A and B are shown apart, each in its own frame.
Chain A
Amino acid sequence: MIEVRMTPPAESLGELYDRVSRRLYAYALSLTGDAARSEDAVHDAFVRLLQYAPGRDVKSLEGLLFTTTRNIILDERRRRVVRENAPAPLPLAQASGEFDEAATRALGRLPEEQREAVVLKIYAGLTFAEIGEVTGTSLATAAGRYRLGIEKLAELLPRNDA
């Protein structure tokens, strides 16, 4: 995490993007299930970052990006007239590049708040305190959701897939 007290110069913005984009995109994908909407959300989060950060005392740019991305996606959901089905699961692949269908499907079957906590912890690398800030809950709630999610995954994932 980095502390920011002023407009991030272009170089550090690029570094920030390189460091956070994959994790942020994965988080957005886990919420939307749609690549294009995720791309838009990450893009808009960066736009808002540039609009918001100048002159402000921002504790964590990464945290702000995750929170903003989440807000953008939830706002967009509320605006949609047609109720959506559950989003497509976040596609997970093994190191070899092979699609891990069992893990992807199991993660997709978690309740959204648990899935969100798992994705933010495992794939975004946030602490429970940061997850609490992003999702607007307490540290304990964030940790509880994560623990429940992992326990549920332990039931859903067959042992022979491990």
Chain B
Amino acid sequence: MTPEDVEARLRSLRTPAPPERLRERCLGPHHASRRPLATLAVAASFLGIGLSVWLVAISGPKPQTVKTIATEIQKHPDPEKRAADPVLQDKVDRLLRENPGKGILVVRVKELRNGTFLPVTSGLWMQIVLQPAKERPDPKKKLDRLEARVDLDGMLIFVATPGPYRVGEVQHSPGEALSMLSFDWWEHKEFSVKAGEVLALADAVFAPFMQWSSPAQGSTVRIKEDPRISWEPYPEIAEVAIQVYRVEKTEGGFTPLSNLGLLKRDASRESGILLAELLKALRITAAPGDRLSFDLSGYDSSGRKLTRSRARLEVLLKE
């Protein structure tokens, strides 16, 4: 073979494509240095299956409250599809072997950035308390508190005892960067944890707060001029909920708020509402001297709460 033949032959050949998840990892908002070895085994599978499995077995992450599993579990919630991937099946089997009789709950964590949902791969700890679905909450009964840290695949993995549940309590601790974002996770549906199975709960999303654009915070507005209550456009928001309060007189250092009502409104076209229209819709009678406060929640097209205003907008009404 001539060198030219060799070059032509090599150029005609293709190298392996990187795994799809690598794109998300590289462009994701939070970078961590190393993948857990348990996850590493999946990626290594198409080169050296036996070595990878051995590595995981002898030097995987130390057992914690919750063990991590691979992204592919989320991609293949169907056990039959998981079974088609022997390495992944091995990981699931091993995780369940370490937690006999348990089931696995998965929450995918994402950050909305520049219109794209990117996986959050570090900086979040979350604890959920599972309340038995058919029982009334009993404060004397001790419930399991499940804890997890988000893994490098952007997932919170909880190992749970089988049974029908609803989420009873959620606590979370975000890292510094995430703490600047809105976060409001809850699984509203009841669900059933089954031994040996993986169940995906609602995704958790960190999103930028909604920003008020007018009137200015703490400003005085004339009722006659019918000012517009508006916020910065937020393309991912399909519907907003505007909560209106009246700020009452301060007594004993405490300023109570009276809840005057909540108006849900399509936000796909407009990012604001005239004050008169808002007050009329909620049948609020406002007078000069009243101090009103507004809260904003944003929902995506599926009705899921995505974000909210960071601070209440407060204005003083004037004739």
A residues touching B (Cβ–Cβ < 8 Å)?
10-11, 13-14, 17-18, 21-23, 25-26, 29, 33-40, 42-44, 46-47, 50, 88, 90-95, 100, 103, 107, 118, 122-123, 147, 150-151, 153-154, 157-159, 162
Contact = CB atoms under 8 A, between A and B. Distances in A.
B23 A21 contact: yes
B46 to A, nearest CB: 6
Interface stretch (B11-19, B200-208, B296-304): B11-19
B3 A154 contact: yes
18 contacts: A10-B113, A17-B26, A17-B27, A22-B15, A22-B17, A22-B18, A34-B48, A35-B16, A35-B47, A36-B42, A42-B22, A47-B33, A88-B47, A92-B15, A93-B14, A122-B10, A154-B6, A162-B1
Interface string B24-53: 011100010111000111111111100010
Interface of B: 1-3, 5-7, 9-19, 22-23, 25-27, 31, 33-35, 39-48, 52, 113-114, 116
B16 A162 contact: no
Contacts of A25: 15-18, 22
Nearest to B35: A40
A154 B31 contact: no
Nearest to A122: B10
A23 B15 CA distance: 8
B18 to A, nearest CB: 4
Contacts of A26: 15-16
B12 A39 contact: no
Contacts of B3: 147, 150-151, 154
- Among B1, B5, B40, B45, chain A packs the most CB atoms within 10 A around the CB of B1
B35 A153 contact: no
